[in-house]
Amino acid sequence: MSALHRDLDDYLAIRRALGYKLQRTGLLLADFVAHMEANGADAITTDAALAWASLPPNGAPDWWAQRLSVVRGFARHLHAIDPTHEVPPVRLLPGRSHRATPYLYSDVDIAALMAAARSLRSPLRAATLETLVGLLAVTGLRIGEALRLDRDDVDLVEGVLTIRFTKFGKSREVPLHASTVDALAAYTRRRDELHPRPVMPAFFLSTAGTRLLYCNAHLAWLDLVHRAGLEPRSAKCRPRPHDLRHRFAVRTLLGWYRDGADVQARMPLLSTYLGHVHPGNTYWYLSAAPELLNLVAARLDATVGEPA
């Protein structure tokens, strides 16, 4: 094993201990180290990083910029230990992130998706997908978090979900409204009636009695969207499962602004509920809906217009 390979193992171990999963980053850096080794290089240089990041030659500039950004993090770590490693400049390969425009579902849209789920031929599949859609809409969970729920994670007595080892390696508890508890209890009874001997302890079951896979859940979502008649609003605004999370955040913020609440003081609460590491990640939702921006502007005008 080369020195660079050992350095990479140390770097990934440190970052993962801090909660970062780095699945794609680990694969990319392993490929970068192999590229360096194949060229007989034992120290990162800007030229070497640029040569690797610009592969394939017909790749998209945004992809090249992402690849160089991954190397830059590794190089910055090594440079602190050994200054012979160069850190590529930030704007060497400028790229632009293209964030999808949130598809903000209306109440009618949610009802249509749940009705589409009820129309499915398999009773268990119908119950599972209807409940999954409803839970995502009222809690703002990431779909992966919902699919990873085990039965022991759903406390219907206390009305709390335990979300374990989320996107940033943290766990949290999510309190539930009484109506949500009732819906989950109804699904539990129906699920156990239709499949009394599951293969896994997953809360949401497939027809085989196993945990729903994300890829299958995503295909099922596309089918529900088609059945519900939901259409893209633009090339960058398509109905995705993750947009239910946006909907939850935006509706929460709208409610706070309309009630005259101190939104800035409450943002850390929303961040914790959503499982964000920093409140700054939650503030992005302020730009997700024109109605929300109008309320923010009105609040700002009222504050600026107050006498000193």
Q: Which of these is catalytic: 125, 167, 238, 240?
A: 167
Q: Which of these is catalytic: 11, 187, 257, 285?
A: 285
**Residue 93 domain-assigned?**
no
Q: What's the rounded mean pLDDT across residues 155-166? A: 92
Residue 222's domain spans which residues?
Answer: 107-228
List, for residues 77-101, the tens digit of each pLDDT value.
Answer: 999 999 999 999 988 887 665 667 8
User: Is 285 among the residues known to form the active site?
Assistant: yes
**Residue 308, pLDDT above cutoff 80:** no
State percent of the chain over pLDDT 90: 64
**Residue 104, pLDDT above cutoff 90:** no
More confident of the two residues 65 and 293: 65
**What confidence category does residue 307 fall into, taking pLDDT thresholds of 50, 70 and 90?**
very low
Q: What's the rounded mean pLDDT across residues 215-237? A: 93
**Residue 97 domain-assigned?**
no
Helix axes 46-53, 23-38, angle to 10 degrees: 120
Looking at the structure, tell me whether residues 119 and 191 fall in a common domain. yes
**What confidence category does residue 301 fall into, taking pLDDT thresholds of 50, 70 and 90?**
low
Q: Which of these is catalytic: 15, 172, 238, 242?
A: 242
* CB 230 within 8 Å of CB 239: yes
User: Is 167 among the residues known to form the active site?
Assistant: yes
Q: Which of these is catalytic: 85, 148, 247, 276?
A: 276
* CB 168 within 8 Å of CB 19: yes
207-246 burial, b for 16+ CB within 10 Å, e for fewer? eebebbeeeebeebbeebbeebebeeeeeeebbbbebbbb
Question: How many residues appear in the chain?
Answer: 308
Q: What's the rounded mean pLDDT across residues 249-267? A: 85
More confident of the two residues 239 and 296: 239
**Residue 156, pLDDT above cutoff 80:** yes
Q: Which of these is catalytic: 67, 142, 191, 247?
A: 142
More confident of the two residues 160 and 58: 160
User: Is 245 among the residues known to form the active site?
Assistant: yes
CATH code for position 126: 1.10.443.10
**Residue 86 domain-assigned?**
no
Q: What's the rounded mean pLDDT across residues 29-55? A: 94
Looking at the structure, tell me whether residues 51 and 153 fall in a common domain. no
Q: Provide the CA 52 distance to its chain's centre, in angstroms.
A: 28
More confident of the two residues 279 and 269: 269
Which among 213, 217, 190 is positioned nearest to 200, based on CA atoms? 213
Residue 61: predicted pLDDT: 86
**Residue 148, pLDDT above cutoff 90:** yes
Q: What's the rounded mean pLDDT across residues 233-256? A: 88
**Residue 278, pLDDT above cutoff 90:** no
**Residue 56 domain-assigned?**
yes
Looking at the structure, tell me whether residues 223 and 248 fall in a common domain. no
Helix axes 243-258, 290-304, angle to 10 degrees: 30
More confident of the two residues 75 and 164: 75
Where a domain ends, among 161, 193, 228?
228
Q: Which of these is catalytic: 67, 85, 245, 251?
A: 245
Residue 236: predicted pLDDT: 81
Looking at the structure, tell me whether residues 115 and 164 fall in a common domain. yes
How many domains is the chain partitioned into structurally? 3
Looking at the structure, tell me whether residues 182 and 129 fall in a common domain. yes
List, for residues 117-146, the tens digit of each pLDDT value.
Answer: 999 999 999 999 999 999 999 999 999 999
Looking at the structure, tell me whether residues 205 and 119 fall in a common domain. yes
Residue 249: predicted pLDDT: 87
Which among 223, 88, 204, 187 is positioned nearest to 147, based on CA atoms? 204
